[in-house]
Amino acid sequence: MMAAQNTPSALGFRMPAEWEPQAAVWLSWPHNRTTWPGNFKPIPRAFAALVAVVSRYEQVRINCAASQQPRARQCCVQAGADLARVTFYDHPTNDAWCRDHGPIFVQHRTTGEVAVTDWAYNAWGGKYPPYDLDNKIPARVAQELKLRRFRNPLVLEGGSIDVNGQGLLLTTEQCLLNPNRNPHCTRTQLEKNLKDYLGIKQVLWLGSGIAGDDTDGHIDDITRFYQADRFVTAIERNSRSPNYKALQDNLSRLKSFRTPAGKRFKIVTLPMPKPIGFRGQLVPASYANFLIINGAVLVPQFRQPRRDAAACAILGDCFKDREIVPLDCYDLIWGLGTLHCLSQQQPADLGALGKH
């Protein structure tokens, strides 16, 4: 662990909110057939559709072994991606979940410099070995882009946290306090580490995530900031659902939170999709797994027209200045994640843009 005076926070860095200007979205090309057992065939096409949409708005940077790049590029062409905005990097991976194995970027408060925080990655508590290639991705990205890199020995996945860019971080006890991540760390020690490396001032703790989530309760399936003092949170209307109690508990906690100024947060509720199962397994389908990019919000769709449309309308009200783009994620969710899980945003270097 680096000395406290040399932590990213002490040096002036903080993690920006997802709605702040982005330089690019990072992805990791899907190739692990065991992630989508018996249903891998449509996955490259669904993934390429994501690449195509993001490329309409900003740069797309893809971790992809050189041997896989010709086929991946062909898929992106067929999907209509703007290849002038798509760059492939010869970064071999074990799996596709870039939100969790990719770098968590931070930005200097005054100069705008972008840097990489490189946390340990253990595939959600050692569930899916091997993960050695995935664990190397942040270092590879930092080296490729010539960015400063801050290494942290603690386990942290990008999908387990959400920030408002102004000092608040949202997470769940089920994930961050799980003994399969950092068993020797107390809640207080974890909070200090997050403050030191991500430049936040306060951690807001929710309880548990949704059923079928193999990540042990990632926040990006349940609750997200959409402004510095506003949350959008998934709720379940069916009291017989396994998600009902956990999501009601989280809603109660959100209502109890106060902003640094002592005010209540505004809370917008988002419906859950009807339960989706593959081969008898419930999957963690959630509209909260949306992705914010420059000028748009990409919303997962699960072939449930009324609920899909309702989720888009609600998020449209939250993000009035961005285009709402629905994307079919029915096949992707068999891998137990969708748009946000697959992606990691890289903040714009405001210094390079001449903004200080």
Residue 352 lies in a domain: no
Q: Is residue 329 part of a domain?
A: yes
Give the count of alpha carbons within 13 A of 212, CB side only: 22
Under DSSP, the state recorded for 258 is B
What pLDDT does residue 356 have?
32
Assess if residue 354 is contained within a domain: no
- Asked if the structure places residue 83 within a domain, the reply is yes
Catalytic-labelled residue, pool 64, 98, 329, 341: 341
- Tally of domains in the chain: 1
The terminus-to-terminus CA distance of the chain in angstroms comes to 30
User: Across-strand partners of 343?
Assistant: 27
Q: Decide the pairing of beta strands 162-163 and 149-155.
A: unpaired
Does pLDDT of 283 surpass 80? yes
185 tagged catalytic: no
Spatial distance between the Cα atoms of 336 and 135, rounded to a whole number of angstroms: 20
Average pLDDT, the chain: 96
Return the pLDDT at 2.
Answer: 52
- pLDDT value, residue 121: 98
pLDDT of residue 280: 87
Domain limits at 196? 4-347
* The pLDDT of residue 355: 39
Residue 205 parent element (H or E)? strand 202-206
291 and 254 Cβ atoms separated by less than 8 Å: no
182-206 confidence digits (pLDDT tens): 999 999 999 999 999 999 999 999 9
Quote the CA–CA distance of 142 and 323 in Å, as a whole number. 31
- Residue 60 placed within a domain: yes
Residue 83 in this model has a pLDDT that exceeds 80: yes
Q: Kindly state the average pLDDT of the residues 172-177.
A: 98
**pLDDT, tens digit, 9 for 90 and up, residues 327-343:** 999 999 999 999 999 99
In a domain, 355, yes or no: no
Q: pLDDT category, 229, cuts 50, 70, 90?
A: very high
Does any domain span residue 192?
Answer: yes
Identify whether 98 is part of a domain: yes
Reported as a single tens digit per residue, the pLDDT across 4-27 is 679 999 999 999 999 999 999 999
Which range among 141-145, 225-229, 267-271, 279-283 shows the weakest confidence by mean pLDDT?
Answer: 279-283
**Tens-place pLDDT, residues 95-154:** 999 999 999 999 999 999 999 999 999 999 999 999 999 999 999 999 999 999 999 999
So what's the pLDDT on residue 3? 54
Mean pLDDT of 27-33: 98
**What CATH number is given to the structural domain containing 102?**
3.75.10.10
Residue 354: per-residue pLDDT: 44
